[in-house]
Amino acid sequence: MDQTDFILSIVNQYIPSTEKTTKVDTPLRTDKNFDNEIKNSIPATEQELKQLYVEYKAYFHTIFGQLCHNMKASRPDIANSINRLGVFQAVPNRLAFKSVYRTLQYLKTHPDVPLLYPKQTFNSSTTFSIPALEKK
């Protein structure tokens, strides 16, 4: 399954294709300071949320929801990132927006990571039937 076009259509809503993107190797920061920053972060005020909305072109929960759908549909590589960002759903702040933006950057620089199903998983001679629908 290759959903590169779908992923790029979402990413391009927030990061224009003309904008140069720094390549990131992980969808979320992995340093120890990041955990401390999450623990010590405080929710954004209403005014700060308005500024973040203008800066990032969307509300946090909108971007988060699109990434969550991507994760479930075809990108399990961002699952940990989405799980960690979920704590910001009710009370986002600048750290949450920066982190979700980093996940978008990761997807932009790694758009074509398809799900692969080995041939051994499916046997062409296997038939699937539902007993209740079979004619007797």
Report residue 127's pLDDT band, with 50, 70 and 90 as the boundaries: low
Q: Give the C-alpha separation, 78 to 111, whole Å.
A: 12
Q: Rg of the chain's alpha carbons, rounded to an integer?
A: 19
Reported as a single tens digit per residue, the pLDDT across 68-87 is 988 887 788 898 899 999 98
What average pLDDT does this structure show over 49-58? 93
Which residue has better confidence, 2 or 81? 81
C-alpha 4, offset from chain centre: 13
Segment 121-125 long-range contacts (CB within 8 Å, at least 24 positions apart):
none
Q: Give the C-alpha separation, 117 to 5, whole Å.
A: 20
pTM of the full structure? 0.78
Q: Give the C-alpha separation, 66 to 10, whole Å.
A: 7
- For the residues of 17-59, what is the DSSP string, one character each? TTS-----SSSS--SHHHHHHHHH--PPPHHHHHHHHHHHTS-
What is the model's pLDDT at position 17? 78
- Other Cβ atoms closer than 10 A to 77: 15
What is the model's pLDDT at position 64? 93
CB 22 within 8 A of CB 105: yes
What is the model's pLDDT at position 119? 64
What average pLDDT does this structure show over 42-53? 94
In this prediction, what percent of the chain has a pLDDT beyond 70? 82
What is the model's pLDDT at position 92? 94
Q: Give the C-alpha separation, 62 to 88, whole Å.
A: 12
Mean pLDDT taken over the chain: 84
